[in-house]
Amino acid sequence: MALLTDYAAGAEIERRSDARQSNAHYRIVPARHPGRALGTIFAGVMIAAVLYSVLTNPRWGWPVFAEWFFAEPVLAGLGRTLLLTALATVSGSLFGTALALARVSKSPLLASLSFGYIWLLRSIPLIVLLLVLNNLGYLYETITLSVPFTDTVFVNYPTTQLLTPFAAAFLGLTLNQSAFFAEIVRGGILSVDHGQHEAAAALGLPRRRQAFRIVLPQAMRSILPTGFNEIIGLAKSTSMVYVLALPELFYTVQVIYRRNLEVIPLLMVATVWYLVIMTGLSIAQHYIERYFSKGAIRNPAPLPFQALLARIRRPVPEVSSAPQSKAGFRDAQVSRLGGAVHVHGISKSFGSFKVLDDIELNLPAGSVTAILGPSGSGKSTLLRTINHLERVEDGFISIDGELVGYRQKGDTLYELKEKDILQRRADIGMVFQNFNLFPHLTVLENLIEAPLHVRGLERAEAIRLAQDLLARVGLSDKINAYPRQLSGGQQQRVAIARALALRPKVLLFDEPTSALDPELVGEVLDVIKELARTGTTLVIVTHEIGFAREVADTVVFMNAGRVLEAGPPALIFSEAQHPRTREFLARVL
């Protein structure tokens, strides 16, 4: 039996080696796609037929086309078309962006005004608008700039002189374009994740910076394809200004073919020039889209000129071989003394649902507090009220005796202006469950954004601080990476470094490890443990019971919007007073 098996195995080995040897002589036949081949033949025949017809039919008049293509009046018309397109694109996009920001603003009057404008201008056909503007002199003989109800007049000009056909065309195209563009920008703004707005606000970035550095660059990814559609539409709509007898490209060829009756060749001249313009715009779109996709793609292939630029450009100063996280955070550069948090009788409802009910807490400076409780008990909401991301209806919160979000006068609390709230927020760092790093900025740019624009640090100093913090969270080598090129644990460590870059008195963690794979949780918890010894006050909403037991001085247990009990971990975990706490701990421990 054993002999037989040996024989069979030997025969098998022989057969395989024969096959391998003869492998070299096999002919490989690719799979056949008869449908695809037929399609290709059909397309080839169609292209050949069209080219044959266009090139052999003398009525296309190609010699006339060649005669007029570079003719001076045609080029002058083309110049006007390009100028109108460029001017109306710039002014229409700027005005449209302002309208979009007004529409999403918190001022109801401004939002309504913007809505009304967009509604009106989108309803009026462009040709009607152009004709109305051309006849504005009939409605208003002069255009006057003056102080109302006084005799002070700055400018007083006859309308017909001021509103030349070119000015009317420019104004009409701008007004029309801005209304459509506003909605495209608004769509882009709405497409940006809400967490990005919150992270920017939590860092205390001024409103303008939030809009132009954080939200709009990310919105550009969805604005650009439709925005460029609009611009291409605009370039073609310039042909409509022929109603104003403005000699742009289309009007010019019309004038010429009326004289020489060579209609088709001259229409071809205009068509080919429009094709050239559209091709230029499509190439521009490709490169601009590439630019704004920074950080959106994990491994983008560099464009040829980018590789060259990267060589020429001065690289970001290399991080010195600073010690990695082992160094801890006890450096005066990074940490600063914590603030005492006093939560005084706060209550909050969402509609009729009371999420926080008369919460009272005293968290001493430098303490570490873990907030535990079942899902929906109000832990995250409580945390967000501490930096005024959520407003409370009753009670107040103070840090080192200074009210958060309010100013006290007698027994009245006045809510601060947003500008002042943003300033104060810089003292209260926040680390979110989903990291909320800015994906279009590199790790370094994420870290220096708030120190530069909230704390007013010099760039070199902000970079030094960022390098130091990255070394301490063990990510020095990722300084130029984009967030999407990092693992979840690394992103969360960058988020912690970003919050620390403001040197906050209090640092809030909203379930910092719940979006992480179990094996990445440890690296983030290690960083927080390290932080716990620096003197910064930490408040951590967490489901990591073991971690809370190890690192917290105080454990707060919440249920249904109330603090059921608070005390040292040893006491809460072994001798909880409340049956609901004991029941919860029995389930999770």
- Could you list the residues that contact ligand ATP (CB under 6 A)? 350, 355, 373, 375-381
Closer residue to ligand ATP, CB minimum distance, 223 or 397 = 397
Do 356 and 348 contact (CB within 8 A), yes or no? yes
Specify the residue, 80 or 379, whose C-beta has the smaller distance to ligand ATP. 379
Q: Are 537 and 507 a contacting pair, CB within 8 Å?
A: yes
CB of 556 to ligand ATP, least distance (A): 12
Nearer to ligand ATP, 85 or 377 (CB): 377
Q: Which of 433, 428, 551 is nearest to 491 (CA)?
A: 433
Region of residue 100 (phi > 0: left; psi between -120 and 50: alpha; otherwise: beta): alpha
Q: To the nearest whole angstrom, how small is the minimum distance from the Cβ of residue 578 to ligand ATP? A: 17
Smallest separation (angstroms) from ligand ATP to the CB of 417: 23
Q: How does strand 554-559 pair with strand 341-350?
A: unpaired
Q: Would you say 51 or 588 has its CB closer to ligand ATP? A: 588
Query: 470 burial class (0-12, 13-18, 19+ CB within 10 angstroms)?
Result: buried
Q: In this complex, which beta carbon is closest to ligand ATP, that of residue 238 or of residue 381?
A: 381
Give CA 219 to chain center in angstroms. Answer: 5
Is residue 452 within 8 Å of residue 459, measured between CB atoms?
A: yes
CB of 436 to ligand ATP, least distance (A): 15
| Closer residue to ligand ATP in complex, CB, 182/539 | 539
Q: Closer to ligand ATP at the Cβ: 88 or 528? A: 528
373 vs 483, beta carbon nearer ligand ATP: 373
Cα 491 to Cα 101, 328, 532: the distances in Å are 30, 19, 20
Counting beta carbons within 10 angstroms of the beta carbon of residue 259, is it exposed (0 to 12), middle (13 to 18) or buried (19 or more)? exposed
Structure tokens, 573: 């975990």
CB 475 within 8 A of CB 466: no
3-state secondary structure 494-535: HHHHHHHCCCCCEEEEECCCCCCCHHHHHHHHHHHHHHCCCC
Of 429 and 561, nearer to ligand ATP (C-beta) is 561
3-state secondary structure of 69: helix
Q: What's the min distance (Å) between Cβ of 389 and ligand ATP? A: 11
| Residue 342 Cβ vs ligand ATP, minimum distance, rounded to whole Å | 20
DSSP 390: S
Closest CB to ligand ATP among residues 173, 383: 383
Q: How far apart are CA 77 and CA 254, in angstroms?
A: 11
Judge whether 387 and 403 are in contact, CB under 8 Å.
no
For residue 456, what are its two tokens? Answer: 């007013």
Q: Measured between alpha carbons, how far is 497 from 476 in angstroms, rounded to an integer?
A: 11
Closest approach of ligand ATP to the CB of residue 350, in Å: 3
Angle at alpha carbon of residue 259, lines to 254 and 264, rounded to 5°? 55
